[in-house]
Amino acid sequence: MGTEPVSAEYLKRHLLHQGVYLERIRGDRVLHEALTVGADPLHLALVFNMSHTAASRYAAIAQSLLDEQIEQAAEGE
């Protein structure tokens, strides 16, 4: 017991016991960031140190969700 950061292995072992995967948490975080900044792949690549291909995929998903939200809002008016 101390104040040092926990290791990725510790998190993985304890979260997996609960059915939570670190990769899923990271993916959710990246998608949330993409939705927040307006689906900018360059921003995602720089912030999350990911390839431009992966960043572009996240940005495309975010853009699709944003477009869908706009369409739903327009239909509700």
* pLDDT tens figures, 3-14: 888 888 888 888
pLDDT at 13: 83
pLDDT surpassing 90 at residue 48: yes
Distance CA 71, CA 63 (A): 12
Q: What's the pLDDT band for 72 if we cut at 50, 70, 90?
A: confident
Classify 11 in phi/psi space as left (phi over 0), alpha (psi -120 to 50) or beta. alpha
- The predicted model scores a pTM of 0.75
pLDDT at 61: 95
Distance CA 6, CA 15 (A): 12
Q: What's the pLDDT band for 73 if we cut at 50, 70, 90?
A: confident
CA dist list (Å): 51 to 5, 32, 36, 55: 27, 18, 20, 6
